[in-house]
C-alpha cells in the first residue's frame, strides 16, 4: 500500500457523514410534509363529522316519517344515533 493511498483514505474519512453538524431544527421539507399530513388528517376528520351529522339527521327523519317502525328498527336506529352522538362528542339531549 502506498503512502498516498493511506492519506487518501484518511482524507476521505471525514466525508463519511461523521463530521456532519447536528441540526436541532428539521429541514423545511420535513416540516412541510408533516404539516401536509396533519392538514389531510384534519380534513378527513372534519369530513367524517359532517357525514356523521348528515347521517344522523337522515336516521331521525326516517324514524319520524315511518308510521309505525318496529321495536327492533327503532332500537337499532336509536343505538346508531347514540353511537354517532358519542363519536361527535355530543350529549344525547343536545339533538334528537
pLDDT, mean of each 10-residue run, the chain (96 residues) = 62 57 62 81 82 93 90 92 86 52
Task: Please answer whether residues 59 and 77 qualify as being in contact, where contact means their C-beta atoms are separated by less than 8 angstroms.
Answer: yes
Would you kindly state where each structural domain of the chain is located, as residue ranges? Answer: 68-96
C-alpha cell of residue 20: 456532519
pTM of the model: 0.52
- Closest residue by Cα to residue 63 from 81, 77, 84, 80: 77
With contact defined as beta carbons under 8 Å apart, do 63 and 77 qualify? yes
* pLDDT (0 to 100) of residue 11: 64
SS3 18: coil
Amino acid at each position: 500500500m502506498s503512502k498516498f493511498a493511506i492519506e487518501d483514505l484518511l482524507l476521505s474519512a471525514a466525508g463519511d457523514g461523521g463530521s456532519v453538524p447536528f441540526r436541532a431544527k428539521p429541514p423545511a421539507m420535513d416540516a412541510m410534509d408533516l404539516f401536509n399530513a396533519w392538514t389531510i388528517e384534519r380534513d378527513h376528520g372534519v369530513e367524517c363529522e359532517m357525514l356523521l351529522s348528515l347521517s344522523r339527521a337522515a336516521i331521525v327523519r326516517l324514524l319520524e316519517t315511518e308510521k309505525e317502525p318496529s321495536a327492533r328498527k327503532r332500537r337499532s336506529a336509536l343505538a346508531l344515533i347514540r353511537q354517532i352522538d358519542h363519536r361527535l362528542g355530543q350529549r344525547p339531549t343536545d339533538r334528537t
